[in-house]
Amino acid sequence: MSSDLFANQNKNFSYYHALIQKIKAYDKKYYQDNDPAISDAKYDLLRQELINIEKEHPEWQQADSPSNQVGYVVKDQFNKITHIKPMLSLTNGFSTDDIKDFIHKIQKFLNIDYCPKIAIEPKIDGISFAARYKNHSFYQGLTRGDGKIGEDITENLKVIENLPMKLPQEAPENLEVRGEIYMSKADFAKLNRQQEEKGQKIFANPRNAASGSLRQLDTSITAMRKLKYFIYNVASENFANSQSESLIKIKKYGFNINDLNKAATDLSTIVEYYKVISERRYELPYDIDGMVYKIDDCILQERLGEIARSPRWAIAHKFPAEEAKTKLENIIIQVGRTGVLTPVAILTAINIGGVIVKRASLHNEDEILRKKIQIGDIVNIKRAGDVIPQITSVELNKRENTHKFIFPKYCPVCNSIVTKLAGEAAIRCLAEYSCKAQILGRIKYSVSLNGLNIIGLRDKQIEFLYNKKLIANSYDIFTLEARQKNSITRLENYPGWGKLSVKNLYKAINNSRKITLEKFIYALAIKHVGSNIAQILSKHFITINSFIDNLAKVNNEDKKIYNELLNIDGVGLKIVAELAKYFARSANLLLLENFTKELNILPYESNQIESKISGKIIVFTGSLKNTTRLEAKAKAEKLGAKVASAISSKTDYLVAGEGSGSKLEKAQKLAIKILTEEEWINLL
């Protein structure tokens, strides 16, 4: 062999070896760090190049070559687990008045004139989790997920510092605790230094770092990140009589609790402690973003229950927003799924509370005029927790070389005339079904977490599929794979795509074919129908067929179903009008019909207790002596009843308290079963 040929051969082998290392590094980024470094298409080309070299030189092939391996770790996904009790999120309060209102609502609900004992705890800025114990041993852990279903992180929780794997004999045999995983400020700073030295991703804040570290498929990475936790709640029944007692017992069993917890029975003590912790929070070794207030008594918690996804007995009091100054470089217009033209401020990038802020919402034209905002201004930016940054004011004394922003008269996307509807501050494009921005907005809304939940289908991918006329609506996503089999131009052949990315896309789509009625209604992207209304409608109609059959009748000719909708507590005129508008369009009815062929839409499953009044329609009127109407209504709903605000022929019971008026008269005329308060209590 000549020296030139030998040198060339040696060079080729060096290239092959370097290629293996490069692909391994990309595999680690993709499978372990959840942070792909290159596009799937480029990755596919590198894998193919490796395979071609090994075919040409089988003598070079190494046992640990990526061509012999699939992925980077053993597990390929986190299993889904249903919560025994929903993991609810908290309502936020931002002022003393909000907390005063919280206490007032509790007093009104319970019909009391004093402030019940309230447990106060710091609100850890971390990741919620649940840990389950059976026969005194840890056996399962899961994330909050969507509140009903979480991800299995059992192996990851096993490496969390000081989380007990065995409980003492005096603890209940079976127990579920809930808490927050967090990363200390010191460990966060150390991690980012290490990431920087390796040339890897720098985390924006400790919460993001904790989230990325907890959801590692390789638990050795989780262990190295030194995550910590605090327990704030016990989900098991009859564990303690109060929140305060619960924390004492949990600490005794070996769990970490936050020792800054306190109790109070008046607003002034609550507010004073809030101020004390707010001033001290920068000295703490971990991040907190507010305080949590909970009614201490567990029996009162049970009576108060919850509203949709939030407990009625707890609230988060967020700390004041962090502020900074920067330059407003430009104002652009974004068109949303409902046609609203929203002005967005483009800012000189600035770090506020560990987050880089480049944009801020300006809401509408009136907001720009009211705050006298001009392009080129130095503005004050406020950011509170996860709230979208806002411009609070303009530094008028620093104004120079600025110019006013002129709101467009035509939609910047479809060029249709825009208008401001009566009673609205927003300016809208009315080309609902022809404006590209609105169509794309509805598709993106549909596939989100609260809807179809197609994991990994990002905005850019949706835009690409729409622009290539591969989809025209959210339904088309579910027929994409079948249509592609007969297509001349395959998706994987387009720039930016590859076999791996297409395979993952189809897998994500197919994993989303089973959906609850509540999430499906949300995914229809009907104006004013968000998560809460979708839940209310699914609870009322139970099945997809009932939902479609009844809503298809909502029009001016059929007042029966129209009035039935208005009788549903929480559904008002605006919502009914939008439902009528949606179901009056034949294209939407066809879309619904097609969806039912592609999806397994599960009927509503109530987590209420089965009782004598399950499924019954109840109306309350007058004042009750032993409870409030608010509490009576909440209890009826918990027992599976539907509470309506008006009498109709479908009403099963009218519960008539003192001072009953027109509802009682109407019930008598319709021969509705009328119950006194005592008879109602006996029925329960």
Please give the Cα distance from 328 to 380 (Å, whole number). 10
Say whether 555 sits in a helix, a strand or coil: strand
What string of H, E and C letters represents the secondary structure of 365-404? HHHHHHCCCCECCEEEEEECCCCCCEEEEECHHHCCCCEC
Structure tokens at 676: 């006194």
Q: Confirm if 297 and 625 have CB atoms less than 8 A apart.
A: no
Task: At 127, give phi and psi (nearest 5°).
Answer: -120, 125
Q: 588-600 burial by CB neighbour count: b if 16+ within 10 A, else e? A: beebbeebeeebe
In sequence order, the 6+-apart residues with CB closer than 8 A to the CB of 18 are none
Q: Confirm if 647 and 672 have CB atoms less than 8 A apart.
A: yes
Q: Confirm if 375 and 403 have CB atoms less than 8 A apart.
A: yes
Please give the Cα distance from 656 to 171 (Å, whole number). 46
In sequence order, the 6+-apart residues with CB closer than 8 A to the CB of 459 are 444
Please give the Cα distance from 503 to 506 (Å, whole number). 5
End-to-end CA distance of the chain: 95
Please give the Cα distance from 597 to 576 (Å, whole number). 26
Exactly one of 42, 117, 123, 469 is catalytic; name it.
Answer: 123
Please give the Cα distance from 501 to 82 (Å, whole number). 29
Which of 249, 251, 238, 252 shows the shortest CA–CA distance to 298? 238
Within a 10 A sphere around the Cβ of 563, how many other Cβ atoms?
A: 12
Task: Provide DSSP, 119-133.
Answer: EEEEEE-SEEEEEEE
Characterize the bridge pairing of strands 228-234 and 262-264. unpaired
> What are the C-alpha distances in Å from 217 to residues 30, 77, 419, 602?
11, 7, 51, 30
Please give the Cα distance from 57 to 595 (Å, whole number). 51
663 is known as an active-site residue: no
Say whether 71 sits in a helix, a strand or coil: coil
Q: Confirm if 52 and 61 have CB atoms less than 8 A apart.
A: no
Structure tokens at 135: 């026969």
Structure tokens at 280: 């001290």
Q: What share of the chain is helix, strand, coil (3-state, %, to 5)?
A: 40, 20, 40
Please give the Cα distance from 664 to 677 (Å, whole number). 13
In sequence order, the 6+-apart residues with CB closer than 8 A to the CB of 601 are 515, 516, 517, 520, 544, 595
Q: Which amino acid is at 153?
A: I
| Beta bridge mates, 140 | 132
Please give the Cα distance from 108 to 110 (Å, whole number). 6
Q: Confirm if 351 and 358 have CB atoms less than 8 A apart.
A: no
Please give the Cα distance from 415 to 524 (Å, whole number). 25
Say whether 186 sits in a helix, a strand or coil: helix
Which of 402, 363, 357, 403 shows the shortest CA–CA distance to 383? 357
**Continuous segment of H or E residues that includes residue 5:** helix 3-27
Which of 18, 19, 36 shows the shortest CA–CA distance to 27? 36
Active site positions, annotated: 123
